[in-house]
Structure 1
Amino acid sequence: MSLPPEPWFLVFGAAGHIGRPCAQWLAERHPAAHLRVVSSRPDRAAELAELHPGADVMIADYLNADDMLAAFEGIHAAFVLTPDFIDEKTAMTNVANAVNEVGTLVRLVRLIGDPPGIRDESEVLALWGPDYRNETALHHLRARKILTGAGVPVVYMNIPGWFFEDFSEFLADPIRKKRTFVMAADRPMNFIATRDIGRCAAELLLDPSLTEVGETLHVENGIDTMIKFSAIADLMSEAWGVPIQYDGTDEAFLRELGPALRRYYKREDAAEHILAECHHEVPFINALLERGNDLRGGERHLTPQMLGFEALSLKSWLQDNRDVFVSGAD
């Protein structure tokens, strides 16, 4: 099924790092399209209108069924991403009910961050034990079960990696103060700019023929793949022209990153949650690599280049944001 000549697009989180570039790329790529941009925060309405001139601005809460009905009214393609620790069961039930009641949606792209190949939270518990309590890793799997079970025309855009912006958010303090990059459980990882995630989502919305309902696509930037965290310090040193050290101890993680993680996730146990996730990733990634796989689990992947635009590299991003980390350095 294809989109009409002047489709309506819906983008949630349109004031954020991922939703904003998604909506802006849609407007640039399809000027004849109609765009509805959504935030859950009333104080961001004016900002949304400024960021997305000409768009239909809406304040809506995933947890409010009436809000979701209003948001999806007349929509042909939608990008859904949710904040950490949300009640996915309620949120995605409201989304699914709205999609099915409205009846106009051709494609929904849902952003997820799951271990490759995992389809249910029971599989996570089988891998990492019944004491596993990282709710952020389980939320997306709960969302998948609801959306697919309700027959929503959804594709899952998985990001098997870390965002560039993570470095300037909860990883920045020890870099600024001690010129030390801190990350426990050294392991290979993919890295991608949130700008490129948003643009990839937009391309999938623009052309539903690129995807099949129910499939999972792993999005990478095609440049910064399978880099060990310990090597990131060397990349930073090269990009900024100052020496950056690496500390991979648990003690440094909790001490140096704990305050920022608690602020970022608004939870007192956030640092412990993320540290546990770091350690859980090590054997899982090693097992994938031993089987000759990368972080796609044998499933289809996409890159910006495959979708027709140039990706931003981590080194370029670090150079562009040098003053955020080493302002005043020689």
Structure 2
Amino acid sequence: MNAPESGVDAGSTRRIGITGASGHIGRRVAQILAEQGRAGDLRLIVRDPARAPRFADGESAEVAVASFDDAAACREAFAGLDTLLLVSAGESDDRVAQHRTAIAAAAEAGVRHLVYTSFTGASADAEFTLARDHGATEDAIREAAGRSGLTWTFLRDDFYLDVLQPWAGEDRTLRGPAGDGRCAFVAREDVAQVAARVLADPAAWADTVLETTGGEALTLGEAAERLTAATGETYRFVDETMAEARASRAPYGAPDWQVDAWISTYTAIASGVLAPVSGDVQQVLGRPPLRLEDVFGKA
């Protein structure tokens, strides 16, 4: 896609809010903006203030405490913000309700631009079941925009390259019914860099969907081979049947909706819906996306 033209100087953004600022994405976005001299423009929104990021150069950012299920706390935390990064909540059966509460609070607080970390193919009938939550959240943001006039940017992230090791676990085995399907895994660092760029200059990306993918689509077999070469440890992929996938996850004792979500991670890869490679990361950052070898490497 072509970048929209912007008549707004990046330095004109005054107050930037970052939810989930103690998590992987939120923390890294805060660090990037602080490195650009914007620490004083930031409000770090966390549930536990003790976990809020601290910056190496001694600069400090404002810290606010709120959770997405507390509308009053969200309104207070979002008040006076020009731009807000809404990092999606953790997996739960009420995640969409939490998101709706936070979105309504942002609109009521007068937030002018909302950046949301969504997912590839977000829709009501997405093969990856948790992407349905993201589709409902995107709808809620568009509805709020229609009422309040706020603008938005959706970062539709594919699965992160960074999760391949956690998926593989201690036995370094990727397991699931993914077959030869491909996924355009994206580096978490690229998502954070894109988010920081959009937050700094939101007018350039107003009402825009960015497909934040990597620069290549890998099968899980290829990912295992590349992980092996990059780390010096042996990884493998086991293509499970649906019955095998349920059996291998049964010991965790997770609720049905969560087991379905875990398995749909792999069936979504198998379906091919996560394979398309976008040029949006390069369009925003002016460089190619990071590769698996940039994320993992021998110590």
- Give the TM-score category using the shorter length: 0.7 to 0.9
Distance 1:256 1:165, change over 3 A: farther
How far, CA to CA, are the matches of 2:288 and 2:183 in structure 1? Answer: 21
CA contact (8 A) 2:40 2:60 kept: no
How far, CA to CA, are the matches of 2:234 and 2:82 in structure 1? Answer: 50
Whether 1:108 aligns to 2:122 is no
1:171-217 deviation per Cα after TM superposition (whole angstroms, max 9, x unaligned)? 32321xxxx4334322111112222211210101111233132x311
Give 1:216's match in structure 2, choosing from 209, 213, 216. Answer: 209
Aligned length: 283
Report the TM-score, using the length of structure 2 for normalisation.
Answer: 0.81
CA contact (8 A) 2:230 2:293 kept: yes
Give 1:14's match in structure 2, choosing from 14, 21, 36. Answer: 21
Whether 1:206 aligns to 2:200 is yes
Residue 171 of structure 2: SS of its match in structure 1?
A: helix
Alpha-carbon shift at residue 110 of structure 1 (Å): 0.5
Give 1:313's match in structure 2, choosing from 272, 291, 295. Answer: 291
Whether 1:57 aligns to 2:63 is yes
Who is 1:326 aligned against?
none
1:299-310 mapped onto 2 (5 Å cutoff): 301-304=279-282, 306-308=284-286
How far, CA to CA, are the matches of 1:6 and 1:158 in structure 2? Answer: 23
1:200-240 deviation per Cα after TM superposition (whole angstroms, max 9, x unaligned)? 10101111233132x31101233xx2111111121122113
Give 1:155's match in structure 2, choosing from 153, 156, 161. Answer: 153
Residue 150 of structure 1: SS of its match in structure 2?
A: helix
Q: Which moved more, 1:249-258 or 1:9-18?
A: 249-258
Residue 191 of structure 1: SS of its match in structure 2?
A: coil
CA contact (8 A) 2:214 2:277 kept: no
Tell me the C-alpha RMSD between the 2 structures. Answer: 3.0
How far, CA to CA, are the matches of 1:305 and 1:21 in structure 2? Answer: 20
Who is 1:327 aligned against?
none
Identity of aligned residues (%): 19
CA contact (8 A) 2:11 2:200 kept: no
Report the TM-score, using the length of structure 1 for normalisation.
Answer: 0.74
Who is 2:3 aligned against?
none
Who is 1:47 aligned against?
51
Give 2:45's match in structure 1, choosing from 38, 46, 50. Answer: 38
Distance 1:88 1:242, change over 3 A: closer
CA contact (8 A) 1:170 1:257 kept: no
How far, CA to CA, are the matches of 1:92 and 1:17 in structure 2? Answer: 19
How far, CA to CA, are the matches of 1:142 and 1:278 in structure 2? Answer: 22
Who is 2:266 aligned against?
278
